[in-house]
Amino acid sequence: MNAAIVVEGVLGVVALGTATDAYLIRRRLKRSEEHVQVLEAALRSNEPQVRLLDGKTRAMARTVANSVLQTAERLRDGGVTRLLSSSLDDLATWVTADQKAIERIAAPDGTVTLFFSDIENSTSINEHIGDSAWLRTLKDHETIVRSAIEAQSGHVVKNSGDGFMAVFRDPFAAVTASTDIQRKLAAHKRLVRIPVRVRIGLHSGPVVSHEGDFFGKNVAMAARVADKASGSEILASEAVRDVLTAAHTNVRMTAIAEVELKGLSGTHRLWRVSY
C-alpha cells in the first residue's frame, strides 16, 4: 500500500460532501465506505510510504474516516431524506434563515414574488448519465438559473443543486427571469440532448402579516404551484396574473383548470406563462 492510495481514499471520502442528489449520495457513500477501509488499513500500516505522512495529515484522515462512518450510520437509521433538502416541500422551510434579506427586497406594499424551480426527473437523469456528467449538468443548470435571477435583481434563497428558491420585488421581474431561463436551457445543446427540463412556479404575496403566518402560506403556495408544473412549464398563481394584468404588461398567460394544492384549502386557478 502506498501514499497515493491513502490520498485516493481521502479524496473519495471527501467527495461524499459534494453530492447534491439522493442517488448520488448513495453511490458515493458505498464508494466512500470502501475508501474508509483502505484508509484504516493504511493508517495502521507501518509501511515506509505511510510513515511519511505527518501527524496532522494522519489525524485529518482519521477524522474524515470517522465522519463518513457516522454519515453511513445516520443513513441506515433514518434514510437519505434526513440528510437532504432537495424537495419542493423542504425548499419552503429554508426561508426562515433568510427572512431579513427577503423583507429588504420586498416592494413598498410589503409583497414579494416567490420563485421555485426544479429539474424534472433529476434522479433518473443522474442514473442515466452517471455522476461526472450529472455534476457538469448541475453546474450548467446553476449558471443559467442563477444568472437569470440576478439579472432581474432577484435574491437566491437556496440552491439545492437541482432546484432553486428565489424572491423578486415584483412579478414582472420573476416572469422575465423565468422565461430567460427556459430560453437559455432550450438553446443549450448539451442540456437539450440529455434532456434537462426545468419546471417553474411563481406566486406573489406579503412578506409578513400581523398574525405572522401569511408568509409561510405564500411560500407553500409557490412551492405547490411549481409542483404542478411539468416539462419546461412556467406556472403562475392568480395573484401573479392579477398584478401583471393590472400593470398592462405584455406577458401572455393561459388559464389552466382549477386545481387542488396539497395542504391548502379550496381550489386554485393556475396560469401557464408563454415564452
Q: What is the pLDDT of residues 126-137, one digit of tens each?
A: 889 998 899 999
Residue 167: pLDDT above 90? Answer: yes
Q: Give me 140's grid cell.
A: 450548467
Distance, in Å, from the CA atom of 225 to the CA atom of 268, rounded to the nearest integer, reads 9
Predicted local confidence at residue 255, as pLDDT: 95
Residue 119: pLDDT above 90? Answer: yes
Quickly count: other Cβ atoms within 10 Å of residue 147's Cβ. 13
Determine the average pLDDT of the residues in 21-49. 61
Predicted local confidence at residue 223, as pLDDT: 86
Predicted local confidence at residue 36, as pLDDT: 63
With contact defined as beta carbons under 8 Å apart, do 259 and 267 qualify?
yes
Residue 103: pLDDT above 50? Answer: yes
Predicted local confidence at residue 39, as pLDDT: 64
Mean of per-residue pLDDT scores for the chain: 78
Alpha helix ranges (H) inside 15-130: 22-44, 48-51, 55-78, 88-93, 99-105, 122-129
Q: What confidence tier does 243 reach under pLDDT thresholds 50, 70, 90? A: very high
Query: Torsion angle, CA of 257/260/266/271, rounded to 10 degrees?
Result: -40
Residue 32: pLDDT above 50? Answer: yes
CA 247 to chain CA centroid, Å, is 31
User: For the whole model, what pTM was predicted?
Assistant: 0.69
DSSP string for residues in 176-225: HHHHHHHHHHHH-HHHHHTT--EEEEEEEEES--TTS-HHHHHHHHHHHH
Predicted local confidence at residue 75, as pLDDT: 47
Determine the average pLDDT of the residues in 160-186. 95
What are the tens digits of pLDDT across the range 199-229? 999 999 987 654 545 577 788 888 889 889 9
Q: Which CATH number fits domain 88-273: 3.30.70.1230, 2.30.110.10, 2.30.30.30, 2.60.15.10?
A: 3.30.70.1230
Residue among 137, 156, 249, 257 nearest 198 (CA): 137
Q: Give me 134's grid cell.
A: 450529472
Domain ranges of the chain: 3-82, 88-273
